[in-house]
Amino acid sequence: MRLRASSRKGTGGLRVGTQVFDEDATEHQRQMQVEERTFPKRRKVASEKFVFQPSTLDKLIVGIWEQVHGSINLDPEAIFDQFQVAPNGGMSIQKSANTFSPHQVAPHTNTVVAQSSSAVDAFSQMNVFCRKVTQASRVCRSIEIIVQARWTELFEEQVQARASADSSISSTKHRKAVFMEACRDFGWSEKELRNKIAIWKGYKDVKDAAGWAALVFAGMGIYRFCKYRVGFDKEAMRRLRYLRKRLEVAADTLHPHWRQLLTIVGDSEALKYPGHPHEWVVNEDGSDPMPLRQTYLHHDPFFSFEHIDESIVDESVWGCEDPRWMPQQNAVTRANGIFLCALCNEQQSDEPKENSCFCFPSLFGCVKRKSPPIQVYRTAEGKNNGLTALTSFERGAAVGELIGLITKGVRHLDVMEGATPQAQYQIWQGRMGNYTRFANHSCKANAQSSTFTWLDTQRVILVSKGIEAGSEITVDYGDKYWAGLDKACLCGESCCRYRRDVR
């Protein structure tokens, strides 16, 4: 196929690609286009008009999602780690059955830095040390919140038990008696405990609505939410109930040890949703998640999908060669094993200490997150499955890499078309790939496909145009996909270019 110039005019700051591929008009190929666009980093301009800020509840929910998809380790064994300094100044970690105590850690922090052979070594050791302490602290805070919520439940149960045993005394007096008993056990004044209970009751209400996962992975915002109770109403509880099953899917698949914390309050540690985080399709109405395969059985009774982290080259087509390979022009740097980024001209490396390219740090050159804050969800508009953003993605941020089978010659199936100066190829995600496979089309898309060269190999990535938390992630499949396709566009946008009746 030959190259021709595109006639479509770009809009906005992100320009439509200048090249598309001609195809044989006699046979439709349903190929989505890769667009060459740049994403300049722009400083946000402060508006002079009043701008609504996210509510306290919105901040709480986003904070929970960020914690779930963060790299924090909630294995309960983290609180039993003791940190000691070896005689040579290095740090050793020793398992102990004793409870973690900050007093055992604090005296050694200066010694680690002082005895280190270099500032670099000291910083590296302190990184490990601080990470361990932070994880232990995070586990302890999660335990604190769930225990306080459980205590509130037992407090109410104790009041009811006393009232049932002795009906001659009013419920108010029974409550007072239980309250004073708790004050004695805590060693707190009535005012202190009353203030605590007001917040702990908020924890219990959040737990009753959104489940234990909401408390275990809650950020610092939950304290303010429960203390000041701004927006703490029936509507807030309704929204949290819708999130309950979705939070459990993310927690079970990303943190398989998190339910061990619940044994402290007598709950089961058995996972409800094991497996890959995108193997479960969630529902916005809070109903039970479904296995991915189940959502496709009415279309394909033999449907299967393998979640992979890197694309696989179809050896039957390409042999041992990767068609995405794009050798650099500078033979000297290539001979020295140095890869330079075509965008920032900085050195690229999979080793974080050697990498200087931070064009898309969530995908290349840095420590990857466990999973992006994205879930596969069941759409309500007949588009089958789609992707929902759990947190916001700023303009120019990577949503993910399109991963699948690198092949060519696929027809009558949805496939991504890509090309280098040396070869044309296709990325087929029909039976293997990642979550980007489930991004639906929209004529007013909030993400777009673009190419990025990493270590001399072209990658196709989804880049955000500005995606808000809670919105569906969509991409424009392009004119080539829709040409001759007897199928209606379901994006519902007023600017829809492909809305027509299907006969």
**H/E element, 183:** helix 171-186
Structure tokens at 39: 């994403």
Across the chain, which distance is largest between two alpha carbons, in Å? 93
Per-residue confidence in pLDDT tens, the chain, 503 aa: 444 444 444 433 433 333 333 444 445 566 777 765 555 444 555 555 554 567 889 999 999 999 999 888 887 776 665 444 443 444 444 444 334 333 343 444 444 444 445 776 888 888 888 888 888 888 999 999 999 999 999 999 999 999 999 999 999 999 999 999 999 999 999 999 999 999 999 999 999 999 999 999 998 889 999 999 988 999 999 999 999 999 999 999 999 999 999 999 999 999 999 999 999 999 999 999 999 999 999 888 999 999 999 999 999 999 999 999 988 655 445 546 789 999 999 999 999 889 999 999 999 998 776 789 999 999 987 788 999 999 999 999 999 999 999 999 998 889 999 999 999 999 999 999 999 999 999 999 999 999 999 999 999 999 999 999 999 999 999 888 888 787 889 898 999 988 764 44
3-state secondary structure of 137: helix
**Which pTM was predicted?**
0.82
- Please check whether residue 249 lies inside any domain of the structure: yes
Q: How far apart are CA 345 and CA 329, in angstroms?
A: 13
Q: How far apart are CA 67 and CA 256, in angstroms?
A: 14
- Please check whether residue 1 lies inside any domain of the structure: no
Q: What is the pLDDT of residue 31?
A: 74
- Please check whether residue 501 lies inside any domain of the structure: no
Quick one: 194 and 309 in the same domain?
Answer: no
Quick one: 254 and 312 in the same domain?
Answer: no
Q: How far apart are CA 292 and CA 404, in angstroms?
A: 17
Quick one: 256 and 153 in the same domain?
Answer: yes
Asked whether the beta carbons of 35 and 16 are under 8 A apart, the reply is: yes
- Please check whether residue 487 lies inside any domain of the structure: no
Q: How far apart are CA 324 and CA 367, in angstroms?
A: 24
Write down which residue in 212, 232, 266 finishes a domain.
Answer: 266
Quick one: 295 and 245 in the same domain?
Answer: no
Burial 374-389 (b: 16+ CB within 10 A, else e): bbbbbbeeebebbbbb
The whole domain housing 413 covers 285-482
Quick one: 251 and 325 in the same domain?
Answer: no
Residue positions counted in the chain: 503
* Torsion of Cα atoms, 473 then 222 then 257 then 260, to 10°: -150
Asked whether the beta carbons of 283 and 242 are under 8 A apart, the reply is: no
Quick one: 225 and 193 in the same domain?
Answer: yes
Quick one: 232 and 97 in the same domain?
Answer: yes
Neighbours of 243 (CB within 10 A): 22
The vertex-214 CA angle with 210 and 218, nearest 5°, equals 150
Quick one: 317 and 412 in the same domain?
Answer: yes
- Beta-bridge mates of residue 154: none
Report the number of distinct structural domains present in the chain.
Answer: 2
Asked whether the beta carbons of 71 and 55 are under 8 A apart, the reply is: no
Q: How far apart are CA 347 and CA 356, in angstroms?
A: 5
Quick one: 83 and 146 in the same domain?
Answer: yes
